[in-house]
Amino acid sequence: MLGLMQDWPLRCHRIIDHAAMFHGRREIVSRSVEGPIHRTNYAAVRANALKVAQGLEAAGIHVGDRVATLGWNTWRHLEVWYGILGCGGVYHTVNPRLFPDQIAYIINHAEDRVLFTDLTFVPLLEKIADRLPTIERYIVLSDAAHMPDTSLKGALAYEDWIAGLDGDYAWKEVDERAAAGMCYTSGTTGNPKGVVYSHRSNVLHSMAALQADMLGLSSNDVVLPVVPMFHANGWSLAFGAPMIGAKCVMPGARMDGASIHELLESEGVTCTAAVPTVWLMLLQHLEETGGSLSTLKKVVIGGSACPRAMTQTFQDKYGVEVIHAWGMTEMSPLGTMCSLKPAYAGLAGEARLDIQEKQGHPPFTVEMKITDDDGNELPWDDKTFGRLKVRGPAIAASYFKGEGGEILDEDGYFDTNDVATIDAEGYMRITDRSKDVIKSGGEWISSIDLENLAVGHPDVAEAAVIGIAHPKWDERPLLVVVRKPGREVEGQAILDFMRGKVANWWMPDAVAFVDEIPHTATGKIQKTTLREQFSDYKFPGQ
């Protein structure tokens, strides 16, 4: 017997319909790429998204065709995002921080047909355009007054293009399992692989992400997604904010501490989200200027491990709650968030920070387990490390065009390539990427734990730990440090600071100072490059 409920396919464009109908005047405030602050609202974004859909269909975009964007977080990117999926197309957010060769690779691999670009990326595209045979037309996200003289094929100014359309269009009624969006993994090894989100997976994922123990947003919130829409499906905020009618503040191209602080204060932001490197810049700015955070209640930090010292500073000095989050492009991307369940809610001080250092527990829609290399499940005892595997309706079943082959185990779980522990309350803690874990004397050392500890030293700006070949122990940890500007701290002082806070045999064998630690296009420490940089390194006395 079937249930007797209506069939209401979970299509993403229903989200912007809902926002326009019930929260139509709620604002979207952007720092435009041209400079000035721009204000619009959900009703106007929907109206323009309809024009985008109409224009794309007139340009021959059919259901399932990929349309690329190279754009910062702005209202125009949001209009284009809904316009593409609204005509049955697939938004493909390209990360402009990738190397030009990788950008060309993924645009060709996705076979994108139209490309929307911000002004910032026109010179970059001009250099690779002759290697992008599938792109039929470029649309520059600006107006006629700012249009550059460009060699890009058929280049049009976005505002002129939509001004010629009336928006008399009905969203394409695609199957809820149809592709809606696409994002390539940042891939530190090999070519990036395409993750393809469906309308259904995006809707379910956004609802899960909004749960009170996850992002916990409401129509009274003002959200500033610093995390770019091109990073891991924009952490789903382009769906989540309109779904509940939160005011949305978009930072455009400027993500430095001063620019973000200005928006946080001037727009009354209550919740913001980004990777730790962004927050490092903001905290540094606040330290230099003596600024405060007068409206911010919650900062979501993920993409890399959030250092304990960062959580402590936000909470104790600025009165902002930190929510540590973990996820990945393949998971739409949310996997876990570290809100405090009853078992931990009463904790304070160091004990509370111990829990907040963990990546947290999953929402309904994410199942997880840890296993050994042979696939045997490991205990949730907060100590045993294992390969972290996940299953759910918004988690990739395979990559675009079957790259990488079969990616699920026999029970349908995806191996995240992260190594983690889980405690009795179901809180997961990432100890490493499987390829970054340091293997010493047959045991594993967590590089993330050591990095977190080192950045707690007041003179350390950033730290990375890598394994260096060792004749007796196989590998031993080397701590690589960037000092805070103007500080002269020596290696021994950092090691003394760390001693006693981790097992003795985990302690780094040496400290090396560098001016800069290399990062990937999504702000993670690039351990492969760092390992190459230190490939000839020998510990003192070796």
Asked if 183 and 112 touch (Cβ cutoff 8 Å), the reply is no
Q: Measure Cα distances from 261 to 33, 257, 313 in Å.
A: 18, 6, 16
Question: Helix or strand or coil: residue 69?
Answer: strand
Instruction: Provide the H-helix boundaries in 387-475.
Output: 447-454
At its nearest, how many Å lie between ligand AMP and the CB of residue 430? Answer: 4
- Which of 234, 242, 303, 307 binds ligand AMP (CB under 6 A)? It is 303
**Nearest to residue 429, comparing CAs of 451, 408, 446?**
446
Instruction: Determine if 329 is a binding residue for ligand AMP (CB under 6 A).
Output: yes
Q: Say which of 161, 262, 297, 444 is annotated catalytic.
A: 444
CB closer to ligand AMP out of 95 and 259: 95
Which of 307, 425, 306 shows the shortest CA–CA distance to 361? Answer: 425
The three state secondary structure string of 76-140 is: HHHHHHHHHHHCCCEEEECCCCCCHHHHHHHHHHHCCCEEEECHHHHHHHHHHHHHCCCCCEEEE
Window 195-254: residues binding ligand AMP (CB under 6 A): 232
CB 211 → ligand AMP: shortest distance, Å? 18
| 339 is an interface residue for ligand AMP by CB under 6 A | no
Q: What are the angstrom distances between the C-alpha of 79 and each of 42, 53, 121, 162, 424?
A: 10, 9, 19, 11, 44
Nearer to ligand AMP, 13 or 358 (CB): 358
- Tell me how far apart the alpha carbons of residues 399 and 414 are, in angstroms, rounded to a whole number: 12
Q: What is the dihedral of CA 448, 428, 327, 404, to 10 degrees?
A: 90
Q: Which of 326, 413, 414, 473 binds ligand AMP (CB under 6 A)?
A: 326
Size of the site for ligand AMP (CB under 6 A): 20
Give residues with Cβ within 8 angstroms of 203, minimum separation 6.
10, 11, 12, 14, 15, 176, 239
Q: Enumerate residues 366-385 that contact ligand AMP by CB under 6 A.
A: none
CB of 325 to ligand AMP, least distance (A): 6
Q: Site mask, ligand AMP, residues 350-369, x = CB under 6 A? A: ---------x----------
Residue 466: CB atoms within 10 A of its CB come to: 22
Q: Minimum Å distance from CB 187 to ligand AMP?
A: 9
- Nearest approach in angstroms of CB 424 to ligand AMP is 21
Concatenate the DSSP letters of all residues of 517-537 into one string: --B-TTS-B-HHHHHHHTTT-
Taking alpha carbons only, the member of 144, 140, 135 closest to residue 120 is 140
Report the half-sphere exposure of 182 (CA within 13 A, side-chain side).
Answer: 30
- Footprint of ligand AMP on 419-458 (CB under 6 A): 430, 433
Which parts of 502-541 interact with ligand AMP (CB under 6 A)?
A: 522
Q: Which is nearer to ligand AMP, 29 or 420 (CB)?
A: 420
Q: Which of 32, 185, 201, 356 binds ligand AMP (CB under 6 A)?
A: 185
Q: Considering the complex, what minimum distance in angstroms separates the CB of residue 332 from ligand AMP?
A: 10
Judge whether 230 and 77 are in contact, CB under 8 Å. no
What residues are paired with 428 via a beta bridge?
360, 422
Catalytic residue, candidates 93, 185, 270, 416: 185
Active site residue 444: yes
> What's the min distance (Å) between Cβ of 185 and ligand AMP?
6
Q: Could you say which of 330, 357, 451, 462 is catalytic?
A: 330
* Closer to ligand AMP by Cβ: residue 19 or 521: 521
Total residue length of the chain: 542
For ligand AMP, the closer of residues 32 and 185 by Cβ is 185
Sole binder of ligand AMP in the list 215, 250, 328, 498 (CB under 6 A)? 328
Residue 494 backbone phi and psi in degrees, to 5: -70, -40
Least Å distance, CB 527 to ligand AMP, is 11
Taking CB under 6 A as the criterion, the residue among 418, 449, 451, 462 binding ligand AMP is 418
Q: Which residues bind ligand AMP (CB under 6 A)?
A: 185-186, 232, 302-305, 324-329, 333, 359, 416, 418, 430, 433, 522
Which are the catalytic amino acids? 185, 330, 439, 444
